[in-house]
Amino acid sequence: MSGRLRIRGGRVYDPANGVDGEVRDLCIEDGRIVAALPAGVPELDATGLVLMAGGVDIHCHIAGPKVSLARRLSPERRRRDVVASRALEDGYLRAGTGGLVPSSFVTGYRYGGMGYTTAFEAAVPPLGARHAHQELNDTPIIDKGFYVLIGNDDFLFRLLDTAGEDEVREHVARTAADARAYALKVVSPGGIAAWKASPRPDTRLGFDETVPGTRAVTPRRIVSAVASAVDALGLPHPLHLHCNDLGMPGNADVTLATMRALEGRRAHLAHLQFHSYGRAPDGRPTSRARELVEYLNEHPELTCDVGQVMFGEATAMTADTRVAELLHRLTGHKWIDLDVELESGCGIVPFEYRPKNYMHALQWAAGLELFLLARDPWQVVLSTDHPNGGSFLAYPRLIRLLMDRAFRDEELKRVNPAALAGTALADGLAREYTLSEIAIVTRAGPARQLGLPRKGQLGAGADADITIYAPQADIEAMFATPRYLFKGGELVVEDGQIVREVYGRTWQVAAPHGREVESAFARFVAERGTMPADQYRVDEDELPRAEIVAAAG
Ligand SMILES: [Zn+2]
């Protein structure tokens, strides 16, 4: 079957190919976009409708040990949103639970129902790789992959103290290969290891302070070494970086120090909003988002996703365990800490953002400042750091905040006015995103930053992942319920409802490395850990729908 279809007469927003709302046909054959099709092929009339590539989420938490743990921590939330199994014409949809941390099946259905076709889990400890893949294998509709954690691991620390750049590069490549990951993620470089050595919420590691138990490893050296290794390997996505001191007043200092330490190397800064705070002389947190944006504006090699806070329920879920402990102490909410040997861990706290709360309102405003002050939307990706700033299901509302100034002004009246004072929002930021800019921050930009040329665009050769929206005055309603979604050329959503279940691919990167690092790592974990090295290694047959991207280096 050739799966030919002409989607006729829609308004196409495809910024990667310079197409801005022109009326044209899109042709699909064998799951890809093609330049033309002969007359007489089946057609779908899209007159008056808006066409974009399928959405791409560059940073969310949807699979792996911490996600499972979050589901178990809050059964009372899951009980509210039980999704029953449902028959389809040629199959059925699986039952599950929704809410802030949906089950694997519901995660796929809800991304698809919102017009997204690709999502990347942003933090998997090396020992959690097998678990994460098993859940992703069970996540329908979307293409997916994950970033494996590095930067708080004892093996890297030993290499930084005793070996050279080549050994670090080999270790980075082996870590990605063993986990069958797509990219490398550093969370609070050295900070988690410091907290583990002294588990108190006031444990803080300065950017140039030595990680406990090492000779001369500092956050600066970790960032620099891993970013260089990722660049030297030519991985498609640069270092994915969660800076130190997330959520702490005054953390903009270390964020700026980190950006400077990269010295022109590429990096993607995760949920930058959570790293953009100043501190007033009286100790109150302030927003320094403007300074960070100014730095970004001058450094095209850096990109970020925002990690926008949305008012309502959220779940703090982070490898930065100290932050979870702090939140637990601040709110009195229950929490759980999962320690992973030799690298990372995670902390989870059910949470709620309230508009009248000074800090929450400030976080909300700082996120919007990042979006509205950024000169180049290609450097900024729309995210809520799901479920940390709110659910991915809040994206349509966030899009409305960016596109509809009158709506934004109404929302501004709801939030704590003291928190807004001093932010750019108080100056009456008039910018409204266009549909083309929304297409950049939700699909074209993240696809480019991920190094996935067949995603986020609608040119010939692209995957036929196409979202079709019916324009409405209410932008939120328009983006919440696409009229149609095609995934790999197949119609999977109609009027926001899944009509066919398909399973996408898992993206992984192939980064070559030698045997020497494998045996050195095996010796190290035999000596220091409780798990043998083969527990870190995911086999080829565990990923039935893998697609491998070769490193360019
Ligand atoms: Zn995250």
pLDDT at 552: 86
What's the gap in Å between 265 CA and the centre of ligand 1?
Answer: 22
Rounded to the nearest 10 degrees, what angle do helices 154-162 and 165-179 cross at? Answer: 160
What's the gap in Å between 192 CA and the centre of ligand 1?
Answer: 15
Check whether 215 has a pLDDT greater than 70. Answer: yes
What's the gap in Å between 520 CA and the centre of ligand 1?
Answer: 31
pLDDT at 94: 95
What's the gap in Å between 132 CA and the centre of ligand 1?
Answer: 15
Check whether 548 has a pLDDT greater than 80. Answer: yes
pLDDT at 496: 87
Q: Does residue 288 come out as left (phi exceeding 0), alpha (psi in the -120 to 50 range) or beta?
A: alpha
pLDDT, tens digit, 9 for 90 and up, residues 58-107 = 999 999 999 999 999 999 999 999 999 999 988 899 999 999 999 999 99
What's the gap in Å between 499 CA and the centre of ligand 1?
Answer: 31
CB 387: neighbour CB atoms within 10 A?
A: 27
Of 245, 263, 153, the closest CA to residue 207 belongs to 245
Of the pLDDT bands very low, low, confident and very high (cuts 50, 70, 90), residue 199 is confident
DSSP codes joined into one string, 112-149:
HHTTEEEEEEEEE-GGGHHHHHHHHHT--SSEEEEEEE
* Mean pLDDT score across all residues of the chain: 96
Residues in the chain: 553
Residue 553 to residues 47, 467, 468: CA-CA distances in angstroms?
45, 34, 37
What's the gap in Å between 152 CA and the centre of ligand 1?
Answer: 16
What's the gap in Å between 535 CA and the centre of ligand 1?
Answer: 24
Rounded to the nearest 10 degrees, what angle do helices 252-261 and 289-298 cross at? Answer: 10
Q: What is the mean pLDDT of residues 324-337?
A: 92
Check whether 1 has a pLDDT greater than 60. Answer: no
Side by side, the strands of the sheet bearing 336-339 are 312-318, 345-353, 336-339
pLDDT at 321: 87
Residue 393 to residues 60, 98, 310: CA-CA distances in angstroms?
12, 11, 10
What's the gap in Å between 480 CA and the centre of ligand 1?
Answer: 22
> Residue 472 corresponds to which amino acid?
Q
- Between CA 371 and CA 58 the distance in angstroms is 16
Q: What is the mean pLDDT of residues 446-462?
A: 98
Of 227, 231, 248, the closest CA to residue 150 belongs to 227
Rounded to the nearest 10 degrees, what angle do helices 358-373 and 289-298 cross at? Answer: 20
Check whether 225 has a pLDDT greater than 50. Answer: yes
pLDDT, tens digit, 9 for 90 and up, residues 455-484 = 999 999 999 999 999 999 999 999 999 999
Higher pLDDT, 319 or 520: 520
What's the gap in Å between 15 CA and the centre of ligand 1?
Answer: 27
What's the gap in Å between 270 CA and the centre of ligand 1?
Answer: 7
pLDDT, tens digit, 9 for 90 and up, residues 362-418 = 999 999 999 999 999 999 999 999 999 999 999 999 999 999 999 999 999 999 999
Q: What is the mean pLDDT of residues 340-355?
A: 92
| 3-state secondary structure (DSSP) of residue 8 | strand
Q: What is the mean pLDDT of residues 171-200?
A: 95
